[in-house]
Structure 1
Amino acid sequence: MNAPATMDHDRSRPAHDHYDLVVIGAGAAGLVAAGGAAQLGARTLLIEQHRLGGECLFTGCVPSKALIAIAAKARGGAPIDWAAAHRAVHGAIATIEPHDSPEVFEDFGVEVVFGHARFAGRDAIEVGGRRVTGRRFVIATGSDPAVPPIAGIHDVPFNTNETIFDIAERPDHLVIIGGGAIGCELSQSFARLGSEVTLVDVGTLLPRDDPDAVAVVRRQLVADGVVLHESVKIASAAGGAGAVRLTLADGSVIAGSHLLVAAGRAARLAGYGLDIAGVASTKAGITVDKYLRTSNPRIFAIGDCREGPRLTHAANQDARCVIQNALFPFRKAADYSALPAVTYTDPELGQVGLTEAAARTAHPRVEVLRHDFDHIDRSIAEHDVRGFLKIMAVGNKVVGATIVGAHVGELVALLGFAVSGKLSLGDLANHTYAYPTLSEVIRFAAEKPGQARLFTPFMRRVTGLFQKLP
């Protein structure tokens, strides 16, 4: 969470037995919910087992993006120093960590308690020998790395995103299970840092994304030296430290020095007494309605622990929504229709709204407007013309956008405004973009329908008639 201006509060205030809002979990979702509620004047308790900041800060977004940046420099010819890379990754974490410190949130007015929380009833919770009640509760317990049901996997030393950034030496040969965002990002980074990398997946890379865009990313991974095994079944895992093996269903063996499991996330639900509180859940997470309420209307669930998208900015959006719903009588529904998603490979792949395939299914009259970066002057000047933009439009309404290319994650926000309905296709076409920038790709794609209607023999005749006027 990016902390707003600090407010002065008395840190010596006594603990209470009843709170307006009790938040369980101090990752991205929990921090935003607790900090916002307290600054609005609600008596707020935040309970965390370990440290404030959550997966994104310590084992997810921050370290992975730091490693990606270091790997990009290595690809550009910078010397590869794993110890320096390790220090840089943890230096980024250490720099950001104070933004999420207990002192910051105590200044907001939050009471911060460390310990394991467990529901003791539908409106009560126990932590550290205390029993407290609350008007409303927010479950923000996050998620854990999912481990696929592969024979022998638990007998093999493997890493997840929770441990891979702590390894002291660069892996000689990193084998990765999972071709999602984490698997793709880290496969490329470790390959650029000098490791042999083999990526294995039961399906295809980035299966939720546009296949044309994924093909651009796939080509670059291969160019960087990543060996891909897509749409294969892993029969078993075996080996020990420094020597792991995956046996595929066809009998072939993939051997490496280290194994990384990057096969998705599983909601963290066990041990919180959800059944005692009357909170229903499935394998996908805690069941919530459009207002993020659980089956117990006193209790909300936000972020990775609930059913729905598992992205840090989705968790942040959930928290802002639930502050309103938990504290005030007017309701705000969660809306993920314009939620952006970016895979931070090089090139980056961004998506907001519907993909081409989904848009064609939902809207038979959808128009797909594509413009490639090899027709963008900035891309040509920088000798990097990989990728393209697709805008999916129904009339003047943008229903989705896919973009793949260098640094395109920075362009997704503007496309998201269009998908949300705040900008029309015409707005995107008529906006003035700085030259030369990558953002011009948006104008070139968006103006295609208008140009097709404007630059016609009829309009040439009309123009000619007007030129005869005095």
Structure 2
Amino acid sequence: MAQTIKADLCVIGAGSGGLSVAAGAAMLGRNVVLIEKGEMGGDCLNTGCVPSKALIAAAARAQEMREADKFGVASVEPNIDFAAVMDHVHGVIAGIAPIDSQERFEGLGVTVIREHGAFSGPREVTAGDNLIRAKHFVIATGSTPLVPPIPGLEDVPYFTNETLFDNRIAPDHLIIIGGGPIGIEMAQAHRRLGAKVTVIEGGKILGREDPELADIVRARLVKEGIDLVEGGQAERVEKTPSGVSVTVGARAIEGSHLLVAVGRKPTVEGMNLEAAGVDYDKKGLKTDSRLRTTNKRIYAAGDVAGGRQFTHVAGYHASVLVRNILFKAPSRNNEHLAPHVTYCDPELAQVGLTEKEARERHGEIKVVRWPFSENDRAQAERETEGLVKIVTDKKGYILGTGVVGRGAGDLLQPWTLALSSKLKIRAFTDMIAPYPTRSEASKRAASAWYSDTLFSDRTRFLVRLLSMFD
């Protein structure tokens, strides 16, 4: 017999967004039910951000050993124990897991139900033997890997991000279908860990990024020996005695392992959203500016909300929902201000509009750059690839910033603040940056915005005129 549970808030999905909403509501004294059929922590902790960055960190250490001679230290080819690398990856997951655990949330007063949740009406959900009736619901079920209908793919073993980190055998030749952030991050990591790597991308790799910045990443990948097959579709996949073969045009690429990384789709299957009056499409749930679905008692957070699929956006959604649901303070979803980072080497980070997007929307813009080759800290570290690129309107209001280089994600943060605060580029010229740091590149780029005016004939005339009063 079903047990009926009444709650102020029911959250479906224990990933980044769902956990943040549940924790916030519970700490504010609300009666919260959290439903999760899989692992606590969701994709980010178990199969996404955390394991991928742990793998990238191990690969970076290996690459540093190969490139040590530029500092006068003997370079060596690292002896890589791939199984031990994966032990490191899962050790990192285990170290973070208690923060997202069922025990922690139950300690906060949350009722955690480890079952599949499906709506049975506009204000009730069934999960196992439980019937949950709540004043408000939050759907935070995330997304799953998109698997394209490539002939033969269903007949061969392949990885997605959900299975890749369970592999303990070093690939001899890893073929990756998809040249987006996941594909590129994993391509470089596996190459640095000793695998031959081929990336197949129908368009250009990192095709959603500013091409000027993506070109710098491309050059590094090619230099490290990654085979980039751009502008070609994977037409067929076949099993071979040594692994798999992927046909691209007239070329058959043979490898030992295959990773499919062509994107993600929102997780909505089996939730019976029709019974709740919640509309959705292939992008996700249809929401308004306050993240309400077509049932105003049901909200969405994270990847399933149909917007940008990043962990930090899911966390941001949670803050919007806490304000809307608990504080009754209308709060709008401004996720277009969210930055994103591809954690390859060099890193590529972007916030706001790219140069192309800015020209399309604003017409007259101004673009300034500062290369890391003219940054003393970058020179000292022998890491001079990349630049800071700033796009403003003609009055100097910041429209977007891209950074490609070492630590680009961290260097982008002041620009994210400036964009959300609607600051002009002048704010960076007034800033005092410590020397020697890579952050100086931001100040130098901002100063370059004024170069045409500062060193113009008109300004030189003004200085001569003022000198008469010396």
Q: What TM-score does the superposition give when structure 1 sets the normalisation length?
A: 0.94
Aligned partner (choices 62, 84, 87) of residue 50 of structure 2: 62
Aligned residue number for residue 62 of structure 2 = 74
The change in CA–CA distance for 1:66 and 1:381 in structure 2 (over 3 A counts) is: same
Distance 2:406 2:327 in 1: 43
Aligned residue number for residue 447 of structure 1 = 447
Q: Does the CA contact (< 8 Å) of 2:397 and 2:422 recur in 1?
A: no
Distance 1:61 1:329 in 2: 32
Greater CA deviation, 210-219 or 125-134?
Answer: 125-134
The change in CA–CA distance for 1:278 and 1:241 in structure 2 (over 3 A counts) is: farther
SS in structure 1 of the partner of residue 437 of structure 2: coil
Aligned residue number for residue 161 of structure 1 = 161
Greater CA deviation, 72-81 or 197-206?
Answer: 72-81
Distance 1:361 1:429 in 2: 27
1:141 matched to 2:141? The reply is: yes
Q: Does the CA contact (< 8 Å) of 1:157 and 1:240 recur in 2?
A: no
Amino acid at match of 1:456: S
- Deviation, structure 1 residue 469: 3.2
Aligned residue number for residue 427 of structure 2 = 427
Q: What TM-score does the superposition give when structure 2 sets the normalisation length?
A: 0.94
- Deviation, structure 1 residue 240: 5.5
Number of matched residues?
Answer: 455
User: What does residue range 338-417 of structure 1 map to in structure 2 within 5 Å?
Assistant: 338-394=337-393, 395-417=395-417
- Deviation, structure 1 residue 412: 1.3
Q: Does the CA contact (< 8 Å) of 2:4 and 2:133 recur in 1?
A: no
Greater CA deviation, 157-166 or 322-331?
Answer: 322-331
User: What does residue range 238-257 of structure 1 map to in structure 2 within 5 Å?
Assistant: 238-239=238-239, 242-248=242-248, 250-257=249-256
The change in CA–CA distance for 1:82 and 1:126 in structure 2 (over 3 A counts) is: same
Q: Does the CA contact (< 8 Å) of 1:157 and 1:241 recur in 2?
A: no
Q: What is the CA deviation profile of residues 367-414 of structure 1, one whole-angstrom value per residue up to 9, with x for unaligned ones? A: 011111111111112122101111011112101011101111111111
- Deviation, structure 1 residue 421: 2.7
Distance 1:406 1:381 in 2: 13
- Deviation, structure 1 residue 460: 3.1
User: What does residue range 272-351 of structure 1 map to in structure 2 within 5 Å?
Assistant: 272-351=271-350
Greater CA deviation, 189-198 or 375-384?
Answer: 375-384
The gaps in structure 2 that reach 5 residues or longer are 66-77
Distance 1:174 1:316 in 2: 33
Amino acid at match of 1:348: E
Greater CA deviation, 84-93 or 326-335?
Answer: 326-335
Distance 1:241 1:353 in 2: 48
Q: Does the CA contact (< 8 Å) of 1:293 and 1:299 recur in 2?
A: yes
The gaps in structure 1 that reach 5 residues or longer are 1-14
The change in CA–CA distance for 1:242 and 1:50 in structure 2 (over 3 A counts) is: farther
Q: Does the CA contact (< 8 Å) of 1:389 and 1:445 recur in 2?
A: yes
Aligned partner (choices 27, 37, 51) of residue 39 of structure 2: 51
Aligned residue number for residue 113 of structure 1 = 113
Amino acid at match of 2:187: S
Q: Does the CA contact (< 8 Å) of 1:176 and 1:262 recur in 2?
A: yes
Q: Does the CA contact (< 8 Å) of 1:151 and 1:235 recur in 2?
A: yes
Aligned residue number for residue 132 of structure 1 = 132
Distance 1:420 1:288 in 2: 22
1:102 matched to 2:99? The reply is: no
Distance 1:149 1:280 in 2: 25
Q: What is the CA deviation profile of residues 346-382 of structure 1, one whole-angstrom value per residue up to 9, with x for unaligned ones? A: 0000000000000011111110111111111111121
- Deviation, structure 1 residue 241: 7.6
Greater CA deviation, 108-117 or 153-162?
Answer: 108-117
Aligned residue number for residue 188 of structure 2 = 188
Amino acid at match of 1:386: E
Amino acid at match of 2:21: A
Distance 1:97 1:273 in 2: 30
User: What does residue range 449-468 of structure 1 map to in structure 2 within 5 Å?
Assistant: 449-468=449-468
Distance 1:235 1:460 in 2: 63
Aligned residue number for residue 37 of structure 1 = 25
The change in CA–CA distance for 1:368 and 1:26 in structure 2 (over 3 A counts) is: same
SS in structure 2 of the partner of residue 166 of structure 1: coil
Aligned residue number for residue 8 of structure 2 = 20
Q: Does the CA contact (< 8 Å) of 1:155 and 1:238 recur in 2?
A: yes
The change in CA–CA distance for 1:277 and 1:240 in structure 2 (over 3 A counts) is: farther
- Deviation, structure 1 residue 422: 4.7
Distance 2:140 2:174 in 1: 32
- Deviation, structure 1 residue 16: 6.6
- Deviation, structure 1 residue 336: 1.7
Q: Does the CA contact (< 8 Å) of 2:280 and 2:286 recur in 1?
A: yes
Q: Does the CA contact (< 8 Å) of 1:286 and 1:305 recur in 2?
A: yes
| % identity of equivalent residues | 43
Q: What is the CA deviation profile of residues 203-261 of structure 1, one whole-angstrom value per residue up to 9, with x for unaligned ones? A: 1101110001111001111111110101102211110684101112x232011000000
Amino acid at match of 2:406: A
SS in structure 2 of the partner of residue 119 of structure 1: strand
Greater CA deviation, 449-458 or 421-430?
Answer: 449-458
Amino acid at match of 2:44: C
The change in CA–CA distance for 1:419 and 1:261 in structure 2 (over 3 A counts) is: same
SS in structure 2 of the partner of residue 162 of structure 1: helix
Distance 1:241 1:114 in 2: 41
Distance 1:86 1:102 in 2: 25
Distance 1:121 1:176 in 2: 42
Q: Does the CA contact (< 8 Å) of 2:105 and 2:112 recur in 1?
A: yes
Displaced runs of 4+ in structure 1, greater than 4 A? none
Distance 1:201 1:459 in 2: 50
Distance 1:168 1:462 in 2: 69
Amino acid at match of 1:139: I
Aligned residue number for residue 68 of structure 2 = none
Q: What is the CA deviation profile of residues 93-127 of structure 1, one whole-angstrom value per residue up to 9, with x for unaligned ones? A: 01011111112212222111111111110001111
Q: What is the CA deviation profile of residues 150-175 of structure 1, one whole-angstrom value per residue up to 9, with x for unaligned ones? A: 11111110001111111121001100
- Deviation, structure 1 residue 458: 3.3
